[in-house]
Structure 1
Amino acid sequence: MNLNKLRSLFKRDTDPSAHSANPSAMSPELLEAAALLRDAEKIAVLTGAGVSAESGIATFRSKVNGVWTAFDPAEVATPAAFKRKPLKVLGWHQSMRDICENAAPNPGHYAIAALQKLFPEVIVLTQNIDGLHQRAGSKFVLELHGDLFRMKGFCDPELHAQERPVHCPVCKGCTRPREQWNPEFREAIVEFTAIPSDAVPCCPHCGGPLRPDVVWFDEPLDPYVLDAAWNIADGCDVLLVVGASLQVQPVAGIPWRAAYKGVKVIEINPEPAEATGFWATRVGLPGAVALPALVEQVCKMKAGG
């Protein structure tokens, strides 16, 4: 596998001037978005790959230079691939880790973190797995697709289909019988286990294989995480949708249902999503440009300016 190809796709040169760009005059859409935010108490922010792209990380699904245009996800991002060639899958994800670790949060990430200091409740619902929201200072982040820097136990779909598996309380993987577990490590934490280059890491408690804690193809989202996302979006006053194409369910349905329930949805993205007509307003700018301007305007409004 050509990991240099992955690096060239994942890490893109970005134009610093684009991040520092500030609209010379606030557009009507930005002013409307700021007015909607000003009086809100509960805000949710749904972010997609476009937010990470502004930090130089290529998106997965883009038809131009998207990661999946160069790599077959069936070979590096499925449970079957992990069973077949675990070291290949782990090596691919380690390269992703290296690239994301070297990326930096952009002004959009920092503006979202700033919102959490301006309002009583701001929760981030992100489809991204790179940890950039947390690195920018966001405190309340729900990771819909997992975290590339976290590990968990592997659950074999075939084992689930054949019998009721035993799940390890440490790694959450389905594994060998309890009698073979190591009680010395029953309080161990495996979330941030490193990925070695020459061996599949194992849970210290049950001995089962560990894998990146991200949602692969042929896997559903964690039902508890998804249910929490629905409830947060449905219960907020304003939902910001930033850098999300909303092409893949079930996450694509979150803003639709929120809008139907009366939540004011603001879309921030250069390219409109299919459901744009349902939103309260839409700002056709990158998040790294629009969000800092939006936060600045909200601060002026709150100060009476």
Structure 2
Amino acid sequence: MVAELSTKLVAQVEQAAKLLRSAKQVCILSGAGISAESGIPTFRDKQTGLWENFSAEDLASPTAFARDPKLVWSWYQWRRELVQDKAPNPAHRALAKWQQGLALKNLASKQRLTLITQNVDDLHEQAGSEAIHLHGHLWRNRCSQCDSVFVESSANNEETKNAVEKIKRFSDELIACPQCGGYIRPDIVWFGESLPVEAWQQAEEAAANCEVFISIGTSSLVYPAAGLAQLAKQNGAKIIEINPNPTPSTVVDITLAAKAGAVMPLLVSTLEQSKS
């Protein structure tokens, strides 16, 4: 993998590692780019199959769900089926290794790494990481009316058990909330909805108190990435961006213009070697 990286990029990775070695607080924000490397389409990708005449923005909103709940639910069940067999890539695994302290055993007691993601998949968790989800979770559901969480453990009667099985089979049949009768929806932040308060507060706190902020697979010019990066910068942090197509940004100190799957394993390996 290192052979695929230019000499300049390898030197930039070493420069990034130098910043990270002395950092007690590291904040990482991942975006659609890291999941795309595992084969998960981004919102910017053109819809395919039955959905090619729809845009994601037209389907991922409270208005769309109110207008045609079955259409929106069907789209999310299709998305779930589409990503069910996707697995973490080397970037996910490197982040998990780092967070778990396997690569930085000597720093584990004094370095804190907070991982925040804009992605709704669970690839970070599959790899072994703990992540703060700003945009919700693709595999979780809640009521569109009373906001009750709809989980498998709530299947205490035959009707609810059948509903859970329908979700698992990616059925497009609407599910009624056992609490109020409202329709169950994905537990995802839609266009026009606010980010979850607790998750955003945790993200802001991590960004404000870190010494190094790393943006992976997301633009440093687009919110919320831009807001967190700016907050970190205002509090004295160095900003590292990992993106094969980086956008010009005055807040970024080091740009690693390559796929996260190539950069992250090298970065973690370099940190590991520095402490061996």
TM-score (normalised: structure 1): 0.75
Pick 1 or 2: higher relative contact order, CA cutoff 8 A, min separation 6.
Answer: 2
Partners of 1:194 and 1:34 lie apart in 2 by 47
Query: How many matched pairs?
Result: 256
Structure 1's 170 and 268: CA in aligned 2 closer, same or farther, altered over 3 A? closer
Q: What amino acid does structure 2 have at the position aligned with 1:235?
A: N
Find the partner of 1:256 among 218, 230, 239.
230
Give the gaps of 5 or more residues in structure 1.
1-18, 156-166, 172-183
Structure-2 residue corresponding to 1:122: 113
Partner-residue secondary structure (3-state), 1:40: coil
Structure-1 residue corresponding to 2:213: 239
Partners of 1:257 and 1:295 lie apart in 2 by 25
- Cα RMSD for the two superposed structures: 2.9
Partners of 1:169 and 1:38 lie apart in 2 by 43
- How far residue 214 of structure 1 moved from its aligned partner, in angstroms, is 0.8
Structure-1 residue corresponding to 2:153: none
Structure-2 residue corresponding to 1:272: 246
Structure-2 residue corresponding to 1:148: 138
Structure-2 residue corresponding to 1:23: 5
Structure-2 residue corresponding to 1:86: 69
Find the partner of 2:122 among 131, 147, 151.
131
- How far residue 269 of structure 1 moved from its aligned partner, in angstroms, is 0.8
Q: What amino acid does structure 1 have at the position aligned with 2:119?
A: N
Contact 2:142 2:148 in 1 (8 A): no
Structure 1's 74 and 280: CA in aligned 2 closer, same or farther, altered over 3 A? closer
Partners of 1:122 and 1:194 lie apart in 2 by 38
Identity %: 38
User: In the alignment, is residue 206 of structure 1 matched against residue 180 of structure 2?
Assistant: yes
- How far residue 133 of structure 1 moved from its aligned partner, in angstroms, is 0.5
Partner-residue secondary structure (3-state), 1:240: strand
Contact 2:12 2:254 in 1 (8 A): yes
- How far residue 225 of structure 1 moved from its aligned partner, in angstroms, is 1.8
- How far residue 199 of structure 1 moved from its aligned partner, in angstroms, is 2.9
Contact 1:149 1:212 in 2 (8 A): yes
User: In the alignment, is residue 293 of structure 1 matched against residue 266 of structure 2?
Assistant: yes
TM-score (normalised: structure 2): 0.82
Which string of whole-angstrom CA distances, capped at 9 and with x for unpartnered residues, describes residues 113-170 of structure 1? 01111244222110111111101111x2001111100001114xxxxxxxxxxx4655
Partner-residue secondary structure (3-state), 2:91: helix
